[in-house]
Structures are given as C-alpha cells and as structure tokens.
Structure 1
Amino acid sequence: MEFYPVAIEKLIEEFAKLPGIGYKTAQRLTLHVLNLPKEEVSEFAEALVKARGTIKYCSICGNYTDTDPCSICSNPNRENSIICVVEEPKDIMAVEKVRDFNGTYHVLHGTISPMAGRGPNDINLKQLVSRMKDNIKEIIVATNANVEGEATAMYISKILKPFDVKVTRIAHGLPMGGDLEYADEITLAKALEGRKEI
C-alpha cells in the first residue's frame, strides 16, 4: 500500500540509494525538501547537476577536481617526492585537516578485496607505479586498518620494492583519549608495535 504520491515515493527511493541513508531518513529528507521554498530546491538540484557535470578525477593523483591537475598536484609548495596513498578522495580531506602533511597524494579508488571480487587491476595501482619515474623518495600507505586495507598496503609494498623507494605505513593503535581496557587485541598489538621513545 502506497502512502505517498508516486513522485514522492520516487524521491524517497533516490535518497535511500545514498550511502548510510535508510528508508526513514530518506523519507525525512524528502519531506524536508518538499517544504523548502522552490528557489532553494532549484539551487540544490542545480548544484547537484553542476557538480556531477564539472567534477572529474585529477590525471595525476585521482582526487576530485574541477581543474586538471588538481590544486594539490599543481601547488609548487608541495613536496612532490612524497606521496600519501589513500583509498578514496574523502581520505585526502581527512589528512589535509591535520595540516601536518605537505606532500602529494594518490587515490586508489578502493582496495584489494577478493571477497568483493576486486583485485589489483580494479584499483588505481598502475598510475601509482608510473609515478615512480618522478624521483619519489617515500610512499606513505594510508589505507584503512582492516583486512582489505592491510592486504592493499602489503601489495603496494611488494610492487614498489624494485623501485628502491621507502614505503611506510601510517601508525595504528589507541586513539587519543582511548582506554586500554576497551581496546581489542589487534589495536593493542599495533599500538605496541608502533611505540616510540619519549
């Protein structure tokens, strides 16, 4: 039994396709949009269409951009010999918020995951290997601390070994403010492994 007109149901379905949005949230978003002034709805729709039409991937790093190369790759003040490898463009935003990294990036657009049917050829690894001709000193692998992220990090280390480049992995362990009693064994092991002198 349908509670809403077809147009509303369709909008709910479209919102529900977004990651992390279930039916109830999609319903709330739809009803919110319907209560907005017509001009705001038009601006929202126009912003969606414009972003989808103008945003592309940087030909160097694979980040989202409206110019090619992106603002990070074309910045002469960035350290081009250090590349931080991340899974998705959103990970670049997370690292940039720290304001402590001045190198460049490489976006894989996924991880190696045999369970999901993704192998090395399904992510952006060939472009990373081709960047090794640019006198790269260090590759920092900043994939997530899960099975797929670890497998991807190990594969990257293996394929870059012939290039005599330093391959490092971001540290994993206890978060600031975290309690030892609530940490799992793997997190504690990583924290011990990544310890440093004080």
Structure 2
Amino acid sequence: MAKRVTGPEIEKLIQLLAKVPGLGPRSARRAALHLIKKKDQLMGPLARAMGEAHDKVKVCSRCGNVDTIDPCTVCTDDRRDQSVVIVVEDVSDLWALERAGAMNAAYHVLGGTLSPLEGVGPEDLNIRTLVDRAAEGDVREVIIAVNATIEGQTTAHYIIDQLAGLDVMITRLAHGVPVGGELDYLDEGTLSAALRARTTI
C-alpha cells in the first residue's frame, strides 16, 4: 500500500482534477502540482473564476448553449441569420464550428445522441424544443451537424422524421475526405461517404 505524501486537501484537488475529461490520475497530479507552485498567479484567479462560473453560468432555454445570460449571446445576436439553425450534439461542437467561422447562423444543442443501450431516448434530449422552434415559422433551414457515428446517424434520422411536414429545408454536413487528407490513409467508411457525397465541378 502506497504511503500518503500529501494532506487531504491536495488529495481532494487531485481527485477532482482527475474527473476532468482528458486528465487521468497522473496528469491530474501534474496539474495540481503546477497550480500549487503558481498559487498566487493561477490557483487564486482560477478558484475565483470557477466560483463566478458556478454562480452565473446557465443553460440557454432556447438553444441549449451555455452562457451567463438566457437567452444566450448567440440567440440574441441580431447579426446572425436566425433563420438557419445548426443542430449539434454538444456545446463543444458548437464551439468547434464557431472557431471554424464558416457560418453566421443560430444553433441548437441536443445534449447528446439517442442510445437505447445506454437508456437515452428522445425525451432525454433537447429535440422537442428544436421541433417547436422549426414550427414557429421563423426557421427556413435546419443543418444537422451531428457526429458520423451510429448514434449520431440514428439521432439525425429521428430528427428528420420529427421535422417532416414542416416548411423547413433540412440539410446535413457532408462527410468525406478531409482537407489535406490522403486517400491511402483514409478508412473505407470515410471513402464510401466521400463518394456518395460527390459534387459536380
């Protein structure tokens, strides 16, 4: 049995950091040690920032984004084309698309994907509010931007069925060869998707 070399406060910090995605026990120990060494420059400001985030961050009741206001900054931005709604699985996907800066549209965060094996059904996701938004008449296009996984595609098909009959154009992200990708290194599924999504030039 390993001997404990730190107090319970530091152990608790390590255990909490280890729960952050991308940080395992070893990375959590390194992060904790770095924070402790830079206590005044990092730990204090980080603790205050986390306290403020805990108190002020909320989920947007319209799109599911996280922000300090509700409706969120994206939903209240008059410069965005609010008639185009990009549907994503998680807030991290929204952030990724925003970093790309490809479209100035609105978003809708599902909060996951349908997964019968894990007990995630339509009522567990933010699908009903998407259908309600589309039915209001202000949305002309819904872009389904879910991941190209089995669960993502199942969710996409379910959403398409739910939006059927509404006066809304439904589009999906193209799947295929990434920019700079070499055919020899791509898997068969990606190559098949690229061929199916081929365009005229």
Give the TM-score of the pair, scaled to structure 1. 0.94
Tell me whether 1-10 or 147-156 shows the greater mean CA deviation.
1-10
Runs of 4+ in 1 over 4 A off after TM superposition: none
Matched, 1:176 2:186: no
Aligned partner of 2:60 in structure 1 is: 58
Query: CA–CA distance in 1 between the matches of 2:22 and 2:99?
Result: 23
Aligned partner of 2:16 in structure 1 is: 14
Matched, 1:107 2:109: yes
RMSD: 1.3
Aligned partner of 2:92 in structure 1 is: 90
Q: What secondary structure does 2:85 align onto?
A: strand
Aligned partner of 1:188 in structure 2 is: 191
- Which whole-Å deviations, capped at 9, do the CAs of 1:111-134 have from their partners, x for residues lacking one? 111122111111101110110213
Query: CA–CA distance in 1 between the matches of 2:8 and 2:104?
Result: 51
Kindly tell me: are residues 134 and 59 of structure 1, through their superposed partners in 2, closer, same or farther at Cα, counting changes over 3 Å? Answer: farther
Query: CA–CA distance in 1 between the matches of 2:20 and 2:104?
Result: 32
2:51 aligned residue (45, 49, 52): 49
Opposite residue 26 of structure 1, the aligned amino acid is A
Aligned partner of 1:148 in structure 2 is: 151
Task: Name the % identity.
Answer: 42
Opposite residue 21 of structure 1, the aligned amino acid is L
Query: CA–CA distance in 2 between the matches of 1:70 and 1:134?
Result: 21
- Which whole-Å deviations, capped at 9, do the CAs of 1:86-130 have from their partners, x for residues lacking one? 011121111112222122110111111112211111110111011
What's the offset of the Cα at 1:39? 5.5
Query: CA–CA distance in 1 between the matches of 2:189 and 2:100?
Result: 25
Query: CA–CA distance in 2 between the matches of 1:96 and 1:17?
Result: 26
Matches within 5 A, 1:71-90: 71-90=73-92
Structure 1: gaps spanning 5 or more residues: none
What's the offset of the Cα at 1:10? 1.4
Query: CA–CA distance in 2 between the matches of 1:82 and 1:40?
Result: 40
